[in-house]
Amino acid sequence: MSVYIPKGYKSHLNLIDTQYAIKIAKDNFEKKLSEKLSLIRVSAPLFVYPETGLNDNLSGSERPVSFEIKETGKYAEIVHSLAKWKRYALGKYKISFDNGIYTDMNAIRRDEELDNLHSIYVDQWDWEKVIAYKDRTREYLIKEVKKIVEALSETKEILLNKYKQLKFSINKEVFFINSEDLLKMYPNNTTQERENLICKEKKTVFIIGIGAKLSNNLPHDNRAPDYDDWNLNGDLLIWHPLLNKAVELSSMGIRVDKKTLITQCEIARTIERLNLPFHKSILEDKIPLSIGGGIGQSRLCLVLLEKIHIGEVQASIWSDDDVNIFNINQLNIL
């Protein structure tokens, strides 16, 4: 089954309290995130022209939702994420070093496989900061990850004080590990199994190095070659005791410079992308070096409110079979 319902699960919060708690969680986390990372909020597009190269290609196989604009006769695409657009925006807004932007990103991912953590509707905070070349280091990445986890933990404490029926804190001590080292720890397990094993033990984990092939000739996970530096990026995982699994809350990283962009596009056999306007702006040093990422809003609420299905914290659509499971188990889907 695509939907997993833990035996005896019943939400700690009814529908009305859930809606109040979602707002508390989002408002407080957003405020803390912007303060800790020195970010200002900006408006962002829901759709872009594909020929700009601004849409996120994700793993390269997902199909964007597209439509024709009557006025122009051209096709636009609903964004998959704003990973590339944000870096362009840093230059447009002339953001100074160690400062950045964030935005509410809404997307439709039509090819998503629906389960407890995945919906075709994606809502996340997309953020991006200007960095200097000297900041393109593992140490700088780790420093920013710790700030995000601080914001997450502090937001959970606010919810625990408000709703006494909630039970779990967020471990502020982040365990950092390279994807290759994780593979060596669990050489006979799949990527998902490795993540679950390490996260069950450490609770809050950041896996560094997503996209490049490991010693087993496979990447830890797929990443587009033209925004993250595969050696300086990673995934933030939080252990979810009710689901008995790791939940990825954020994918983030230091972005490619021109050398890394060319190298990774060659590896991915997507060298033709270098002719697109966004990619040319990197090669010609017209947009700043940066670090950035996305933080799932519904995923965050699922973890903080101790829910077990993303449909409990966002309004989306589901298969008839899934809806039947929700009804049988009296799950309050929004």
Q: Would you name the residues annotated as active-site residues? A: 56, 109, 124, 235, 248, 251
User: Rounded CA gap, 157 and 218, in Å?
Assistant: 39
Rounded CA separation 4/240 (Å) = 13
Distance CA 162, CA 183 (A): 40
How far apart CA 249 and CA 304 sit, in angstroms, is 11
- b (16+ CB within 10 A) / e for 6-22: eeebebebeeeebeebb
How far apart (Å, rounded) are the C-alpha atoms in residues 87 and 79? 15
Q: How many angstroms separate the Cα of 254 from the Cα of each of 229, 309, 321? A: 6, 31, 41
DSSP state, 213?
B
Six-digit token pair at 171?
């471990």
Q: How far apart are CA 111 and CA 131, in angstroms?
A: 34
Q: How many residues does the chain have?
A: 334
Residue 30: how many other CB atoms lie within 10 Å: 19
Q: What share of the chain is helix, strand, coil (3-state, %, to 5)?
A: 40, 20, 40
Positions of E strands within the chain: 39-41, 47-48, 66-68, 75-78, 100-108, 121-130, 175-178, 204-208, 228-240, 245-255, 290-296
Q: What is the C-alpha separation between 132 and 109, in angstroms, rounded?
A: 33
**Cα separation, 330 vs 324, whole angstroms:** 10
